[in-house]
């Protein structure tokens, strides 16, 4: 027990290494979060300035985007911080000085591994409690905006796919004063494999007319075409000499009762997903149905991702330490480039695993944990065979340098 506690007890060397690691982590977190939020900020400014959405709504939407973005950027920032910290210590020969003083590589890595475990623990709590709440609140607030100001979700000359809704809406132009739309096209996909296409010369949202949770859109001079893919039936409703009211936003703002409490898997904690999954399995004991197996696989995948994604912090720390040491010979730029490549590979493996789980070609826990296992294993191998790893990385860096020189000579 004492040995276990002493493993996490910070020494002077450990605190020194951590002071080198934390600043680049914070800078990387701010940078990558900003990069991912830039596009969202442009959309929010459009809602605020062009669509007259209240400032309080726009600001809250922006704040609720940050937790989801941080769930992606924190592991990347930890990798960058680790690479840059170890690269700085290595380039200034401080690693060599530590080794000459009798400090083992394991002791040097120990503080980084301990901090990686701490980051993982914090991210488990973050992904399990704060992130689901933020996702749910974002969905409800977005629905409130679309319910009170549905025109704010529509852009002219663009096929507008309204989140969570079965409709795709297109309009040639929108009047800022009257909120009237001209040359309207609506495509609606229904669960019974019925497709409805509605064409109208103009349309107007009825601000004070709702039916339950539905918002009404009044269309003038047009027709509605309905086709059933299963039985081939086709029908037309013509309103070329009048108007017709259509109910929109069936799952939109104004959630009440059970519909408001309905949450997706990304809006639930691990405990809630586990309980819902257990109940779903009890209600569907027959697993021969493809739909049942697909639903179970997706719910299990989300359950395991709540735990596996936080462990990316530890996995990327394991591989970031040896990558940082390599950068003192190859240059900080190449060490940074290796870190970008590792991040890309990590998320590529994660997305591949998700696709294979959705296709029922892989178990859910394998799809969720596969990138963590691969990156961690590669990092452990690099740490254990550090001299060989440095030679390999140096060979790769030399190859890039020769390629860059050859390209420069050809250009000259």
Per-residue confidence (pLDDT) for residue 213, from 0 to 100: 45
Cβ distance 114 to 11 under 8 Å? no
Which range in 211-215, 257-261, 336-340 is most confidently predicted, on average pLDDT? Answer: 336-340
Supply 85's token pair: 């910290």
In this prediction, residue 122 carries a pLDDT of 92
How much is the average pLDDT of 221-248?
Answer: 83
Nearest to 166 by CA among 231, 233, 221, 246: 246
Please say if the pLDDT value at position 349 is more than 90.
Answer: yes
Does the pLDDT at position 333 exceed 90?
Answer: no
| Predicted confidence (pLDDT) per residue in 272-284, tens digit | 899 988 998 888 8
pLDDT at 210: 45
Please report which confidence band the pLDDT of residue 304 belongs to, taking 50, 70 and 90 as the band edges: very high
Cα(303)–Cα(391) distance, integer angstroms: 40
Contact 222, 240 (CB under 8 A): yes
Distance CA 412, CA 410 (A): 5
Distance CA 79, CA 74 (A): 9
In the chain, how many H helices and how many E strands? 13, 6
pLDDT tens, position by position, 58-82 = 888 888 889 988 988 898 899 888 8
d(Cα 80, Cα 35) in Å, to the nearest integer?
15
Using DSSP bridges, classify how beta strands 167-174 and 160-161 pair: parallel, antiparallel or unpaired: antiparallel
Tell me how far apart the alpha carbons of residues 355 and 353 are, in angstroms, rounded to a whole number: 5
Residue 120 pLDDT class (50, 70, 90 cuts): very high
Structure tokens at 222: 């047009």
Q: Which residue reads 């257990």 in tokens?
A: 278
Mean of the pLDDT values across residues 18-24?
A: 83
- Residues 303 and 363: their CA atoms lie apart, in Å, by 13
Is the predicted pLDDT of residue 356 greater than 80, yes or no? yes
The SS3 call for residue 300 is: helix
SS3 79: helix
Contacts of 103 (CB under 8 A, 6+ apart): 13
Give the pLDDT confidence score for residue 18 in this predicted structure. Answer: 79
Tokens of 99: 């080794």
Residue ranges of E strands in 212-296: 214-228, 234-248
pLDDT greater at residue 167 or residue 3: 167
- For the chain, the structural domain boundaries read 2-145+296-411, 153-248
Provide the pLDDT for residue 90: 74
Average pLDDT, rounded, for the chain: 78
Helix H or strand E encompassing 18: helix 12-49
Is residue 235 over pLDDT 50?
yes
Reported as a single tens digit per residue, the pLDDT across 181-210 is 899 998 888 766 788 899 999 988 776 544
Beta strands in 275-408 (DSSP E): none
Q: What pLDDT, on a 0 to 100 scale, did the predictor assign at position 86?
A: 81
Tell me what pLDDT residue 255 has. 32
What local confidence, expressed as pLDDT, does residue 208 receive? 52
């Amino acid at each position: 027990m004492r040995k276990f506690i002493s493993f996490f007890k910070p020494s002077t060397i450990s605190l020194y290494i951590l002071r080198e690691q934390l600043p680049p982590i914070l800078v990387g977190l701010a940078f990558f979060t900003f990069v991912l939020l830039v596009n969202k900020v442009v959309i929010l400014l459009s809602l605020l300035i062009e669509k007259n959405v209240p400032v309080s709504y726009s600001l809250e939407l922006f704040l609720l985007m940050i937790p989801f973005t941080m769930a992606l950027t924190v592991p990347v920032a930890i990798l960058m911080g680790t690479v840059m910290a170890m690269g700085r210590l290595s380039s200034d020969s401080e690693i060599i000085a530590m080794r000459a003083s009798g400090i083992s590589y394991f002791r040097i890595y120990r503080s980084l591994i301990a901090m990686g475990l701490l980051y993982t623990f914090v991210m488990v709590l973050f992904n399990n409690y704060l992130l689901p709440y933020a996702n749910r609140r974002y969905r409800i607030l977005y629905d409130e905006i679309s319910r009170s100001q549905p025109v704010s979700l529509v852009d002219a000359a663009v096929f507008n796919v309204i989140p969570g809704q079965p409709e795709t809406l297109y309009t040639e132009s929108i009047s800022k004063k009257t909120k009237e739309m001209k040359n309207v096209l609506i495509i609606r996909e229904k669960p019974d494999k019925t497709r409805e296409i509605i064409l109208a010369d103009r349309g107007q949202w009825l601000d004070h007319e709702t039916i339950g949770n539905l918002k009404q859109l009044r269309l003038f001079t047009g027709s509605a075409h309905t086709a059933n893919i299963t039985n081939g039936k086709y029908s037309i409703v013509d309103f070329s000499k009048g108007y017709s009211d259509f109910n929109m936003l069936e799952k939109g703002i104004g959630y009440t009762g059970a519909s408001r409490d309905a949450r997706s898997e990304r809006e639930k904690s691990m405990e809630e997903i586990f309980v819902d999954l257990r109940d779903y399995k009890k209600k569907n004991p027959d697993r021969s149905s493809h739909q049942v197996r697909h639903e179970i696989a997706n719910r299990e995948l989300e359950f395991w991702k709540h735990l596996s994604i936080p462990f990316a912090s530890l996995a990327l720390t394991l591989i970031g330490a040896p990558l940082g040491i390599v950068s003192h010979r190859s240059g900080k730029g190449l060490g940074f480039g290796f870190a970008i490549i590792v991040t890309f590979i990590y998320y590529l493996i994660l997305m591949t695993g998700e696709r294979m789980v959705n296709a029922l070609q892989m178990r859910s826990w394998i799809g969720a944990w596969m990138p963590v296992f691969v990156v961690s294993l590669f990092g452990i191998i690099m740490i254990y065979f550090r001299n060989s790893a440095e030679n390999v990385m140096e060979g790769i860096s030399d190859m890039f340098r020769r390629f860059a020189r050859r390209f420069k000579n050809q250009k000259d």
